[in-house]
Amino acid sequence: MSSTRVIVVANEKGGSGKSTVAMHVAIALIKSGQRVATIDLDARQKSFTHFVENRRAWARQIDRDLEIPEHFSFGKVHYPTARDEAAGCKALADAIDALGRHCGVIVIDTPGHDNYLMRYAHSLANTLITPLNDSFVDLDVLGSVDPRTFDVTATSHYAEMVQATRRGRQPDRASTEWIVLRNRLSTLSSRNNALVGRGLQELARWLDFRCVEGLAERMIFRELYPRGLTAVDDIDDIALGTRPTMSHVTARLEMQNLLGCILLGDVRSNAALAVPSRMMG
């Protein structure tokens, strides 16, 4: 497992876009020439698993060779005893070891709540990506703010858990790179946008994470999900089921820029991810 790069997408709050980000990271890595496996730890929602299944089904329906990662979905998590937790963590470690024998990167999507597998995945991460909606409600998982000045006053439960797992990593393992994505950004500047940004920059200094502007609030990302498509796919009339629009072009460029910022610096120069000229017409 030491030579396998483990990317964990996590946030204790649901609805932040974890599965969308995880799928886009996985597909973009495959397109850049890497062998990628994916793991879904959300045994209840299984959004990541459904995303992969939708992609596989749509590829068959349109007779198109869409890149599909080797995928593993965990079953229901049990909490009865410490022995059960240890067995669950060993099962996750074994799955990563098995997948890592033929895949260089493993992308793990986590549930929007705390459990022992989610915490254990954090301890294994080379890169941790935390999507965060651009609001004080979502900022609360990282830190609390003064209601009068909006200055950060303390770190919160999720941030403290991440810091604990980073400190607890084995000495022979490199420290976890932590990236916080500001998702569902408004296209218009606002006081809220500025204040949340200020709070995140202060927390970044406290907690040693890198803050990156993520995805705007675009309906197109939701429309791609039923077919398992991503904004980095070469989307044409057949794959999309309709004529691509400028919304698809904008989403594609936005996602390419995001992936380049967070971990895929070579993505934007990869010919496979260039915006097709027919989409620009």
Residue range 80-122, pLDDT digits in tens: 667 778 888 899 999 999 999 999 999 999 998 888 899 999 9
Grouping H, G, I as helix, E, B as strand and the rest as coil, residue 71 is strand
How big is the CA angle at 47 (ends 15 and 5), to the nearest 5 degrees?
95
pTM: predicted TM-score of the whole model, two decimal places: 0.87
Selection from 49, 47, 41, 94 nearest residue 71 by Cα: 49
Number of folded domains in the chain? 1
pLDDT over 60 at 221, yes or no:
yes
pLDDT over 50 at 277, yes or no:
no
CATH number of the domain where residue 37 is located: 3.40.50.300
pLDDT over 90 at 268, yes or no:
no
pLDDT value of residue 2: 56
CA atoms within 13 A on the CB side of 2: 5
The stretch 128-138 carries a mean pLDDT of 90
How far is it, in rounded angstroms, from Cα 145 to Cα 133?
16
More confident of the two residues 179 and 234: 179
Cβ atoms of 179 and 263 closer than 8 Å: yes
Structure tokens at 175: 């420290």
Residue 216 is classified by DSSP as B
Residues of the chain with pLDDT > 70: what percent?
85
| Cβ count within 10 A of residue 130 | 25
Structure tokens at 239: 């794959």
Mean pLDDT of the chain: 84
Q: How confident is the model at residue 281 (pLDDT cuts 50, 70, 90)?
A: very low
More confident of the two residues 70 and 252: 70
pLDDT value of residue 100: 92
pLDDT value of residue 83: 72
Q: Residue 160 belongs to what domain range?
A: 5-280
Helices (H), the chain: 18-31, 47-62, 82-100, 116-124, 136-139, 157-167, 191-207, 219-224, 237-240, 246-262, 277-280
The stretch 269-273 carries a mean pLDDT of 40
Cβ atoms of 31 and 272 closer than 8 Å: yes
Q: Which residues pair with 127 in a beta bridge?
A: 7, 177
More confident of the two residues 152 and 267: 152
pLDDT over 70 at 171, yes or no:
no
Cβ atoms of 266 and 255 closer than 8 Å: no
pLDDT value of residue 170: 66
